[in-house]
Structure 1
């Protein structure tokens, strides 16, 4: 895992302080139960179980965006950790 940029909204915060505590775990479980397949794999015609709830638009600590379920998408870990990360990096460099 890459080091966290000290100027990042994540810097110095625990997972729970960033919003990923027990409330998130329950919401995540419910969302994945209702949306069990990775949306990136599905777009390629591949059936893969989702195990990550991704924020389509990075919330960067914005709690209303964090909890907006229309901003959530089901992903498998390999897609989340590769394709999505590349997209986020590209969109950040475009700004």
Structure 2
């Protein structure tokens, strides 16, 4: 399993519209794929743009496909400014 950290830019004027849509998408993903997500934002804004981050921990195989379908269904692209960037992390093994 891997943890996903997905960040992207949001124009200030779209933040109030995007927030509920991201949370609804995450609720649907939790029901469908069993992965609860969180959404955070960097404090402040630069040039009228905020940085947001979605976090999905311990995602199973195939979650990326479920996330892509959920994104398309939710239509979040109309409220983001630029691409989504995904960082993937795994746990550090304690075995040698």
TM-score (norm 1): 0.26
Which structure: greater strand fraction? 2
Structure having the higher helix fraction is 1
TM normalised by structure 2 equals 0.26
